[in-house]
Structure 1
Amino acid sequence: MYPESLITQFFNEPIGSLQKAKRKLEHRIEDVIRSVSQSHIISTVINQKEIRIIGLRRSGNHAIIRWIEKQQTGEVLHLNNIRVNENPYRDNYENLLRKNNSKNIERWQQEARGFFTKKDCLLYSYEDYSLNQIANRRFEKTHDLYFGKSAERYDVIIMRDPFNLLASRIQQNYRAVKAPQKTDIDLWIEYAKEYLGETEYLKHNKVTINYNRWFNQVDYRQEIASRLNLEFSDDGFHEVSQRGGGSSFDGREFHGKATAMDVLGRWKVFAEDTAYRKLFDNKELLEYSETIFGSIPGTKFLEIS
């Protein structure tokens, strides 16, 4: 006789697939109805500014997002770590329903149905996706239906040097990514090409952010603020965001004094780890790292010749 868990799994999988297909069909019908009945809403500017943020996990995304939120005046909303090719408001609303969580559920329901609240700035972030997943042309056609029309749009791509990024990802056991048949190193190289302008997936006022420089240089942060049309104050820079659990190594221990964290020396923890060092047996990775970040002090011995 088969174990009960296997029998349950056998019957549950088809039901789950049917439910998923049913939900997708319902979403499509809802989208068609809204596109006809809410054409007056869809054509109205909802977001004065929209910033789409792309970065691998542990790239300093949450620190930079928190800093942007603090530089931006007015009504600001951040949709964190959303799924590609989905209406983020509907996704969040349905997640709350599944979890029986009533917190702000009415607001999410209204936004999901297209009754948007006007915002001075809408921020939303994608983590660990391939750029062709994010910059999907078919999904772009649903932009105003799902996010609301925006007066100005920005695409931000964040890069952190691979030595410290991979150390932080290993520390958090975050090696897997959301792009089929790709590794975090594959995505890092893909992002590097976009950062340098070798590819052009991101079409909306692309702003590239070098996390290492952002962390170290106030004049660089001023430059980023200017490019994003923000009123620079540097508020939020010393905070450690609660999102993502804070630092991979320190949690939120250094909240209020973030510059005391050794975020540019995380690689030292794994310097003698053979598996970690083998990650840098990749000529393309090292060449792009050198181009974007220059030489990272002390890391030369990690490179396998």
Structure 2
Amino acid sequence: MATGRTSSVTPVAGVVGNAGCWPELGWRPDAALRMFGMRRSGNHAVANWLQRNAPHGQALFFNNCKSGRGPLAHHQGVERNAVQLARHDTRDLAGLGATLEAGGLLLISYEDTVPSDFGLERPVSGDLDETLLSDDILLLRGFLNWSASLLKKLQRNPDFTVAYRSASVLRAIDSYRKMLELVAQADDLALTVIDYDVWIHDAEYRSALLDRLGLPCVDNTLGKVQRYGGGSSFDTPEAGADFDLRTDQRWQRMSGDAEYQAILHIAARDTALLAALSRHYPDDAKKLASLADQTPIEAGGLR
């Protein structure tokens, strides 16, 4: 985790972060944020929102960085001011930094990376000088809608077998549980937690988060659908369409799916997951726990 920084829990209102000059870029942003979130947790919607509220209207976003490596060289794409850059425009980092004036936002994101799995011997961002970071963000989403969205996304790929899909979701659930457990240490680790379920419905919550992160409130809307990951797992709106507000209904739409039911029955027997959910998403915990008392296959069901 980032060290040597003021905790994001008690920021000074209206004051941007303490990011320094990033040597590879030759650029000094006002704020440098690192964001962790499981896939299908609203990562790109939140990243787009942060960019739209960048100081001085300029932002540089390094998407889906590779854990354990330097993020500026190991990522899945770069955006400047919320516009994706061609790969050849991102190879020369010094040249890229020269296109930016002093000030602005540098945003680094990780997907399916649990920061607590890393440490001093193997830092999550490789040899990055973490004192350059202003804040770390932990992005969360309720378990039932998140798991339904993840499975539905995997089901849309015809090359994935049932066994592969189920194994992928179950591994992700273990990482998801670790993410939830980190919330209890948010104050000590200088983590700013963003609950996607609240973020999507509460403009005041979004505004308070911007203030907490030291960013100006320029555009506090949800923005448009992002094209990363094919957009919504359930619907296929084109990039630029209005944001889908039905993200809190995903599990209901998957409730009759046998594959989803099987995964939930397994997850319901994970006591550590249920304990973490009880602290942060008690309604999900209650629904999931009710499955633990049910027998997935009745006696004599296999013949």
Q: Considering the TM-score relative to the shorter chain, is it more than 0.5?
A: yes
Match of 1:270 among 248, 254, 257: 254
Deviation at 1:49, TM superposition (A): 1.0
The structure 2 residue matched to 1:131, chosen from 115, 119, 122, is 115
Task: Report the 3-state secondary structure (helix = DSSP H, G, I; strand = E; otherwise coil) of the residue aligned with 1:216.
Answer: coil
Cα 1:107/1:165, change in 2 over 3 Å: closer
Distance 2:22 2:110 in 1: 29
1:168 corresponds to which residue? Answer: 149
Give 2:276's aligned residue.
Answer: 288
Output the CA distance in 2 between the equivalents of 1:143 and 1:155: 14
Aligned counterpart for 2:127 among listed residues 113, 137, 142: 142
What is the distance in 1 between the residues matched to 2:94 and 2:262?
46
Match of 2:183 among 189, 195, 202: 195
Q: Give the residue type in structure 2 aligned to 1:71.
A: N
Cα deviation 1:41-91 (Å, max 9, x = unaligned): 57x762321110100000111111111111223320111101012233333
Q: Deviations over 1:144-177 (max 9, x none)?
A: 4xx9x73x51100011111111111111126666
1:138-287 residue pairs with structure 2 within 5 A? 139=123, 142-144=127-129, 150=132, 153-173=134-154, 183-197=171-185, 203=189, 205-252=190-237, 255-258=240-243, 260-272=244-256, 273=258, 274-278=261-265, 279-287=267-275
**8 Å contact from structure 1 (residues 89, 108) kept in 2:** no
- What corresponds to 2:297 in structure 1? none
The percent identity for this pair of structures is 22
1:242 touches 1:252 (CA, 8 Å); kept in 2?
Answer: no
The Cα of 1:130 is off from its aligned counterpart by 2.8
- Unpaired runs of 5+ residues, structure 1, are 1-38, 95-101
User: What is the TM-score normalised by the length of structure 2?
Assistant: 0.68
Aligned to 1:109, which of 76, 89, 92? 92
Rg comparison, structure with higher value: 1
Q: Give 1:64's aligned residue.
A: 46
Does residue 52 in structure 1 map to residue 34 in structure 2?
yes
Letter in 2 for 1:70: R
Question: In structure 2, how many angstroms separate the alpha carbons of the residues matched to 1:197 and 1:246?
Answer: 32
Query: What SS does the corresponding residue of 1:67 show, helix, strand or coil?
Result: helix
Question: 8 Å contact 1:58–1:168 — kept in the other structure?
Answer: yes
User: For 1:68 and 1:176, how far apart are their aligned partners in 2?
Assistant: 33
- The SS at the match of 1:46 is coil
Q: Distance in 1 between matches of 2:119 and 2:99?
A: 23
SS at match of 2:35: strand
CA gap of 1:111–1:172, structure 2 versus 1, over 3 A, is: farther
Using the size of structure 1 for normalisation, the TM-score is 0.68
Q: Say if 2:39 and 2:111, in contact at 8 Å, map to a contact too.
A: yes
Of 60, 67, 78, the residue aligned with 1:84 is: 67
* 1:271–1:130 CA distance, 2 compared to 1 (3 A): same
Deviation at 1:287, TM superposition (A): 2.8
1:130 and 1:177 map into 2 onto residues whose CA distance is 16
